[in-house]
Structure 1
């Protein structure tokens, strides 16, 4: 079985940083004064799976996008990935391979 296909995050272009704030002053300065500028899609890793990229492109609201198990493992959120696998036994909980 093949592992996940990894790519640069399509939201931050692999930097791990993205201005998530809607404040015009933040966008004008190129950084957010309200937060840490961490990309909400990759959570600062700069890499996501092709599956997560596809889910993000097809999203309705951004908050409706759920990360697959390899992305959660890469972020160190094993407990979330384990819960997802428990609820959907056909999913895999393998290590993310960068």
Structure 2
């Protein structure tokens, strides 16, 4: 299901299915049980929110194996990472603060 909020389309996280939890641990036993005994169950893609923008979902699907993705400004804003959005704007002189959507 897609919803629009803050000039961005949002969908359930494609990694955790919208639960906000995904086993990120490297221990095979944790993956086999579907739950990390070390407490590392927060989805790394949505950071526990359960929702991501369609832009981030597209970036995730297009990446190569073991390649990271950069979250767009609306995702960073939703995660409370305004400093990261501001840094991205400062590093790209072509982008304005309005385009960063915060």
**Does TM-score exceed 0.5, indicating one fold?**
yes
Decide which of 13, 16, 24 is 1:12's aligned counterpart.
Answer: 16
Residue of structure 2 in register with 1:94 after alignment: 101
The 8 Å contact of residues 25 and 40 in structure 2, kept in 1 or not, is answered as no
Decide which of 14, 28, 34 is 1:24's aligned counterpart.
Answer: 28
Distance 1:61 1:79, change over 3 A: farther
Decide which of 49, 61, 64 is 1:60's aligned counterpart.
Answer: 64
Number of aligned positions between the proteins: 94
Q: Greater RCO between the two (CA within 8 Å, min separation 6)? A: 1
Distance 1:78 1:54, change over 3 A: same
The 8 Å contact of residues 56 and 62 in structure 1, kept in 2 or not, is answered as no
Q: 2: distance between equivalents of 1:63 and 1:45?
A: 21
Unaligned 5+ segments in structure 2 are 1-5
The 8 Å contact of residues 4 and 49 in structure 1, kept in 2 or not, is answered as yes
The 8 Å contact of residues 12 and 46 in structure 1, kept in 2 or not, is answered as yes
- The CA deviation at 1:62 is 4.3
Moved more, 11-20 or 56-65: 56-65
Residue of structure 2 in register with 1:35 after alignment: 39
